[in-house]
Amino acid sequence: MREIIFDTETTGFDPATGDRMVEIGCIEMVSRVMTGKHYHAYFNPQRPMPAAAEQVHGLSDRFLSDKPTFGDKADELLAFLGDSPLVAHNASFDFGFLNHELQHCGRPPVSMDRMVDTVALARVKNPGAKLSLDALCTRYGIDRSHRVKHGALLDAELLAQLYIELTGGRQIGLGLADDANSDKMIGQMDGNSVQTTKIFRPARAHSASAEELARHAEFVAKIKDALWLQPGSAL
């Protein structure tokens, strides 16, 4: 199954009061494996960047001044998202900004039925624990040493690793049940996609041959005082 893990950076907390999205980062996963495909864009919010928000993500008015508006990139973004489930941390926040921007440029909103919230997943698996992305990365041993400021693509990459841990851990995708008869798996990168080929071997014959049975009988006959030959033995 294809899923998109995404994160946004904004000018504030509430699109209803005029805040806008200024960055989005999306990571493609198929069967809980990152394919290498991603989408990343900055947007000109057409409003000043509050100092408090700039301290969080480092995106200044000057940096964003020559960037396209969300409407300029909307079709490109929607093509990447497709109809896949969308995974985000505190997803209602990111969905709120995404749908506000889509409606602002005349596109239909993304259905909330596609939303997967990793905060909700983490709350079930770790009741009472801190649920911030930083805290959960520390809990699950995900390296975030390169994260100096928030960034949509970087945070989406961290979230993709966290999502794997929350939905089965690093063993997911091994397919132990499906591949019980598989000799080995060969993974190959082809551009941005991952192609996996299974090589199967025939089932091994487990019945002993006549020669093996004869050798076994000869070996057993040499055992002195065998327990199964003692009177009253249930063996």
Question: Sorting pLDDT into bands at 50, 70 and 90, what band is 214?
Answer: confident
Asked if residue 192 is part of any domain, the answer here is: no
Asked if residue 198 is part of any domain, the answer here is: no
Note the pLDDT of residue 38. Answer: 97
Identify whether the C-beta of residue 197 lies closer than 8 Å to the C-beta of residue 188. yes
Note if 150 is an active site residue. yes
Stretch 7-24: mean pLDDT, rounded? 97
Note the pLDDT of residue 12. Answer: 97
- Residue-range definition of the domain harbouring residue 153: 2-171
Asked if residue 233 is part of any domain, the answer here is: no
Asked if residue 211 is part of any domain, the answer here is: no
In tens, the pLDDT along 66-123 reads 999 999 999 999 999 999 999 999 999 999 999 999 999 999 999 999 999 999 999 9
Asked if residue 45 is part of any domain, the answer here is: yes
Residue 181 has pLDDT above 70, yes or no: no
Task: Show the tokens assigned to 76.
Answer: 């490109």
Name the active-site residue from 57, 89, 100, 150: 150
Asked if residue 164 is part of any domain, the answer here is: yes
Asked if residue 133 is part of any domain, the answer here is: yes
Identify whether the C-beta of residue 115 lies closer than 8 Å to the C-beta of residue 89. no
Cβ neighbours around 38 below 10 Å, total: 19
Number of domains in the chain: 1
Can you give the CATH number for the domain in which 56 is found?
A: 3.30.420.10
| pTM to 2 decimal places | 0.71
> How much of the chain is helix, strand and coil, in % rounded to 5?
40, 20, 40
Which tops the pLDDT comparison, 199 or 80?
80
Task: Show the tokens assigned to 51.
Answer: 């100092």
Token pair 């065998």 in the structure block, residue: 226
Token pair 């009061």 in the structure block, residue: 17
